[in-house]
């Protein structure tokens, strides 16, 4: 698989390159977002199977990487993109998923330390799946005392975080080591309590969660 990485930290770029190369992937790195955009926007450019990009890149170290990803997705809607972020930035997650959730991921850099979790995210996003780091959900929950999420039980919050990862009910059941019927009941309760319409499609469930967080999260 051909993977392009946009990351200005030389150490992290080298680490990611070595990790992915060891898995048999062909990796190309870019230290700035503008170089990335120029390379992938050029006429006849060969698109990678996956773009992995940091959010904050030179020159301003604000949102250059994210804006590059959004721009490239507007040009190439089927380009899988996995965004890495140092912090939970709700607005970044909202903008990333505004054009659709297929083949998109938002993962905290700390997750890279867990090799299996990171490689799982790479595989799922490159295959057209959706990954939202559960820490994005849990930290936003923690920042919202008195929010409507208080109506959820501890187990329902765990299920919500896994829903935000794009996992199916069966996958959630496996992760929590509970029965499928129990997960289905939790999902129904969550959607009902949060005023979200039930949806069988995993990507629609992720978007529903993100929309709710967008409307109710801190700004």
Mean pLDDT score across all residues of the chain: 81
What was the pLDDT predicted at 24?
96
Q: Which of 79, 77, 9, 76 is nearest to 51 (CA)?
A: 79
Q: Which domains can be identified in the chain, with CATH numbers? A: 2-132 (3.40.50.2300), 136-216 (1.10.10.10)
Please write the tens of the pLDDT for every residue from 62-84. Answer: 888 888 988 898 889 899 999 98
User: Is it the case that residue 219 has pLDDT exceeding 50?
Assistant: no
DSSP string, 28-70: EEESSHHHHHHHHHSTTPPPPSEEEEESS-TTTTSSHHHHHHH
33-42, 94-103, 134-143, 160-169 — which is least confidently predicted?
134-143
Q: How far is CA 212 from CA 127, 149, 184, 202, in A?
A: 26, 10, 20, 16
The whole-number average pLDDT for the span 131-158 is 69
d(CA 103, CA 203): 10
Residues 6+ apart with CB under 8 A from 184: 169
Tell me which H or E stretch contains 196. Answer: none
Chain segment 171-211, per-residue pLDDT in tens: 899 999 999 999 999 988 887 887 766 666 655 666 566 65
Query: pLDDT at residue 217 above 50?
Result: no
Residues in contact with 208: Cβ distance below 8 Å, sequence separation at least 6, in sequence order: 191, 196, 197, 199
Burial class from Cβ neighbours inside 10 Å (0-12, 13-18, 19+) for residue 15 reads: middle
The model's pLDDT over 106-136, given as tens digits with 9 standing for 90+, comes to 888 877 778 988 998 999 899 988 887 767 6
CB neighbourhood size of 1 (10 A) = 16
pLDDT at 218: 38
- pLDDT for 208 equals 62
């Amino acid at each position: 698989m051909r993977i392009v990485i946009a990351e200005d930290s030389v150490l992290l770029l080298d680490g990611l390159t070595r990790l992915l190369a060891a898995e048999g992937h062909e990796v190309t790195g870019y230290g700035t977002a503008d170089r990335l955009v120029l390379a992938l926007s050029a006429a006849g450019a060969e698109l990678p199977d996956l773009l992995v990009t940091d959010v904050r890149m030179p020159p301003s170290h604000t949102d250059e990487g994210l804006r590059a990803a959004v721009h490239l997705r507007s040009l190439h809607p089927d380009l899988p993109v996995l965004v890495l972020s140092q912090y939970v930035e709700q607005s970044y997650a909202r903008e990333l998923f505004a054009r659709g959730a297929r083949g998109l991921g938002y993962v905290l850099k700390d997750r890279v330390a867990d090799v299996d979790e990171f490689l799982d995210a790479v595989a799922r996003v490159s295959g057209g799946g959706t990954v939202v780091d559960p820490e994005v959900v849990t930290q936003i929950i923690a920042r919202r005392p008195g929010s409507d999420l208080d109506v959820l039980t501890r187990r329902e919050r765990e299920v919500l975080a896994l829903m935000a990862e794009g996992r199916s009910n069966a996958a959630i059941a496996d992760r929590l080591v509970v029965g499928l019927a129990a997960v289905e009941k939790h999902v129904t309760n969550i959607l009902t309590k949060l005023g979200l319409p039930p949806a069988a499609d995993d990507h629609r469930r992720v978007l529903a969660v993100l929309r709710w967080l967008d409307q109710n999260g801190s700004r």
